[in-house]
Amino acid sequence: MFRKNQKRDGYKGRLQIHLPKFKIEDKVDVKSTLEGMGMGQLFEKADFSNMVDSSHQPTAAILRELVIKKITQKSVLAVDEQGTEAATVTVQVMKAECCVHDDAPQKTINFNRPFLSVLTYKQAPILMGAIRAPNEKSRSHLAQTQENLIKV
């Protein structure tokens, strides 16, 4: 995304990004979300009997009475020197040195204030997280040292 904006804005120099290491984990009960989407029947009186061949009568009878009690989703977004890990998918951290000359001026972006992290796929948001205190270890589990910054 930086490359896209860098090209659009016409900046042709080097860009150095300082990004803190961070890991965000969240566990969400999605029952209310699914109910709001009109899928409440899954949790009340669902009929899952069509999931098996009708010749298996005992199984079909059980599936007619089956309901879902809880659905939870756990998301993890971790960024460090090795790249970005989202749940079980690993995405390589981009390098922002596209088509630049060694003598080009360098700009630096330092993420030392609260920021929003968004992992996208084909411009669709997959995971989002707010880093509220990137320099305070007690609230964000980030070290305050220079070693804890990732140079991209």
In a domain, 90, yes or no: yes
In a domain, 105, yes or no: yes
- If asked whether residues 37 and 85 sit together in one domain, one would say no
Task: Give the integer Cα–Cα distance in Å for 44 and 10.
Answer: 57
- If asked whether residues 125 and 54 sit together in one domain, one would say no
With beta carbons less than 8 A apart as the criterion, state whether 103 and 50 touch: no
Task: Give the integer Cα–Cα distance in Å for 6 and 135.
Answer: 27
- Statement: the pTM of the whole predicted model exceeds 0.85: no
- If asked whether residues 59 and 80 sit together in one domain, one would say no
Cβ burial, residue 9 (10 Å; 0-12/13-18/19+)? exposed
- Digit-by-digit pLDDT tens for the chain (152 residues) are 555 555 566 667 777 777 788 888 877 787 888 889 888 887 777 776 776 666 766 666 666 666 777 777 778 888 888 887 776 332 323 223 334 445 666 677 777 778 777 777 788 877 777 777 776 553 333 333 344 444 44
**Full domain range(s) for residue 45:** 32-65
pLDDT at 104: 60
With beta carbons less than 8 A apart as the criterion, state whether 110 and 70 touch: no
In a domain, 12, yes or no: yes
In a domain, 146, yes or no: yes
pLDDT at 97: 34
With beta carbons less than 8 A apart as the criterion, state whether 95 and 152 touch: yes
Q: Are strands 89-91 and 83-86 parallel, antiparallel or unpaired?
A: antiparallel
Length of the chain in terms of residues written = 152
Query: Strand ranges (DSSP E) for the chain?
Result: 14-20, 22-29, 72-80, 83-86, 89-91, 106-110, 115-121, 124-131, 149-151
Task: Give the integer Cα–Cα distance in Å for 96 and 3.
Answer: 6
| Strands lying side by side in the sheet with 149-151 | 106-110, 14-20, 149-151
pLDDT at 52: 65
The total of structural domains in the chain comes to 2
pLDDT at 135: 66
- If asked whether residues 24 and 47 sit together in one domain, one would say no
